[in-house]
Each structure stands twice: as C-alpha cells, then as structure tokens.
Chain A
Amino acid sequence: DAGVTQSPTHLIKTRGQQVTLRCSPKSGHDTVSWYQQALGQGPQFIFQYYEEEERQRGNFPDRFSGHQFPNYSSELNVNALLLGDSALYLCASSSYSLGQGLAYGYTFGSGTRLTVV
C-alpha cells in the first residue's frame, strides 16, 4: 500500500521563477493538505483540497495556488518566487468519516526541499 508520494525531492529555483510541486495521496484518501516548513519551525498550513476544490486556506499570499485532480493527486504552484519561500514543502493526505471528522491522523509525504537563490 503506497503512502504519500511527493516529487521532486529537491529543487533549486531562481528568484522570480515559478515552481510546481506534485503529490499523490495515500490509497483510499481523498483530501490533500499542503504545508510549508521553514528550518527549525513547525509546519505552516497553506491550503487543503477536497473534491477538486480548495476547502481551507491558511495565511499565504495568492502567489501560492493549487489544484486537485479527479484521481485525488494534487499540485502546489508558487509564482514569483522569493528567497523566503525556501522551505520544506509537505503534502499530507487524509480521509474523513461522516459525522466524526478526521478519522485518523494525516499521512505525510517525505517533502520537497525548495531552495530559492
């Protein structure tokens, strides 16, 4: 049973460029959440996708956008990259039980390390 798969593992981009990160959720999960983790900090919630729509959004600018496909996989796009966007980007998948909310914890991928130079 495959867990969450993220690609690429590492990425180096130049300021002002655009980047797309990809995530395949765990089999059976229908919800994908994206987090940004700066060095030495806890993960910060970017947004969450369910049924191909953005359901929740954290305090991130519009430069951060996403998409979810019919097979539940997801992409995170960041435009006009800044040096401060350098971080570990984590994708997490989950499923929800009707009336109970989050059934179990999130399953995380290994992350994409983005370096902006």
Chain B
Amino acid sequence: SQQGEEDPQALSIQEGENATMNCSYKTSINNLQWYRQNSGRGLVHLILIRSNEREKHSGRLRVTLDTSKKSSSLLITASRAADTASYFCATDNGDDKIIFGKGTRLHILP
C-alpha cells in the first residue's frame, strides 16, 4: 500500500526555473524522505527530514514538512537538465520501514 502521494504526477519546466513537488501522507510519521530515480534504475536518497523539523536544505534542494497538514514539499532551485528524473517521497512511521508514494516525473526542457 502507498502511504504518500505526490503531486503533480508529472511536471515539465524550462531549465533554470524552480520545480516544486508536493507529498501528502496519511498517518503520523517519524521522518519523511525524498528520493530521485533516473530511468527506472536504483533510487538515490536526497534528504531526510524528521517529524520535529520544519525545513531542511541541501544544495539546491529545500524540503519543508507540515505535520499538522501531513504534507511535505520539495523545491529544486535553478533546475538543470540532469534533474530530469522521477522523485518519490517516502515515510517512516516508526516501525523502521519506509513506504513510497507513486512519484512525480520531472522533465527539464532545454
């Protein structure tokens, strides 16, 4: 079963623009993570935000978490062609396994 749900399902933007993806989840969580997947291969961990954190940055990535709304957002600033990929949010509700959403397919146009 899927815990998180990303929105939008697909996103196309021009290179250099910012990309924002959202994730909503259903039950309380220990932490929420974002992953990137290129061309159906392995997932790459981008960032982990704990339930007591509200915002986290890593390079061009900014993640926010609103536990009252059970939602998170991932912002990629100054997008590049190499950012073209699928992005997944995943939640850990404290039982030490993570559950993924269906993902957002991001396409950066030249």
Q: Show the binding face of A for B, using Cβ within 8 Å.
A: 4, 31, 33, 35, 37, 39, 41-45, 48, 55-56, 58-59, 88, 90, 92, 96, 101-102, 104-111
Which of B69-94 touch A at CB < 8 Å? Answer: 88, 92, 94
B29-58 toward A: CB 8 Å interface, digit per residue (1/0)? Answer: 011010100001111111110000000000
Q: Are A102 and B42 in contact (CB under 8 A)?
A: no
The listed residue with most B CB atoms (<10 A of its CB), out of A42, A43, A101, A108, is A42
Which of B15-34 touch A at CB < 8 Å? Answer: 30-31, 33
Name the contact of B98 in the complex, choosing from A39, A59, A106, A107 (C-beta under 8 A): A106
List 30 A–B pairs whose Cβ atoms lie within 8 Å, in order of A's numbering.
A4-B42, A33-B97, A35-B100, A42-B88, A42-B101, A42-B102, A43-B43, A43-B88, A56-B97, A59-B1, A88-B40, A88-B41, A90-B42, A101-B31, A101-B92, A102-B30, A102-B48, A104-B45, A104-B48, A105-B46, A105-B47, A108-B35, A108-B42, A108-B43, A108-B44, A109-B42, A110-B41, A110-B42, A111-B40, A111-B42
Interface residue total, chain B, C-beta cutoff 8 A:
27
Give A94 to B101 CA distance when docked, in angstroms: 19
Q: Show the binding face of B for A, using Cβ within 8 Å.
A: 1-2, 30-31, 33, 35, 40-48, 88, 92, 94-103
Q: Secondary structure of the A side of the interface?
A: strand
The listed residue with most B CB atoms (<10 A of its CB), out of A106, A107, A110, is A106
Name the contact of A42 in the complex, choosing from B2, B40, B46 (C-beta under 8 A): B2
Q: Are A39 and B40 in contact (CB under 8 A)?
A: yes
Give A55 to B95 CA distance when docked, in angstroms: 10
Q: Are A45 and B48 in contact (CB under 8 A)?
A: no
Give A96 to B98 CA distance when docked, in angstroms: 13
Q: Are B96 and A48 in contact (CB under 8 A)?
A: yes
Give A110 to B103 CA distance when docked, in angstroms: 18
- The residue in chain B whose Cβ has the minimal distance to the Cβ of A9 is B41
The 9 closest A-B pairs by CB, nearest first: A105-B45, A42-B100, A108-B42, A110-B42, A108-B43, A42-B102, A56-B97, A43-B100, A105-B33
